[in-house]
Amino acid sequence: MGAGVVIRDHNGVCVAACSDSYQEVTIPELAEAMAMRRSLIFAKDESLDHVSLATECLSMVQRINAGEMDRSICGPVVQDIKHLIATFSTCSVVHVRRELNAAAHLLTRSVV
């Protein structure tokens, strides 16, 4: 599986992008969690401090925003995400429709 990360400014203009391949991952939700963690690391590398993380995976949004510990196979990655979120001045995790995430999907296809 692959991951595409797109960083946009406050006007929605793409300012940076990257992609990764997770060949060993076969569970889509785990791949999404890994992509979200990669997004936050990339944002930190780009010295961003105010971030909105958008995904079409509603269950990941719910897991990350939940107060309790995630005990699923995604749990350790979700915990990493929560720790990374705490390092930003502001960081929100939001659900978007798939068609609003088209650029990230194009990047993902390029690495698979």
pLDDT of residue 71: 92
Residue 106 scores a pLDDT above 80:
no
Pairwise pLDDT comparison (106 vs 4), residue with the higher score: 4
Residue corresponding to tokens 């992509």? 35
Q: What is the per-residue pLDDT for 112?
A: 47
> Measured on CA atoms in the order 48, 6, 19, 76, is the torsion positive or negative?
positive
Going from N- to C-terminal start, the domains of the chain cover 2-111
pLDDT digits (tens, 9 = 90+) for 28-40: 899 889 999 999 9
Determine what percent of the chain is predicted with pLDDT higher than 70.
Answer: 87
**Confidence (pTM):** 0.80
Q: Is the pLDDT of residue 105 over 50?
A: no
SS3 of 26-87: the string is: CCHHHHHHHHHHHHHHHHHHCCCCEEEEEECCHHHHHHHHCCCCCCCCCHHHHHHHHHHHCC
Pairwise pLDDT comparison (14 vs 37), residue with the higher score: 37
CATH architecture of the domain with residue range 2-111: 2-Layer Sandwich (3.30)
**Regarding predicted confidence, which is higher, 77 or 97?**
77
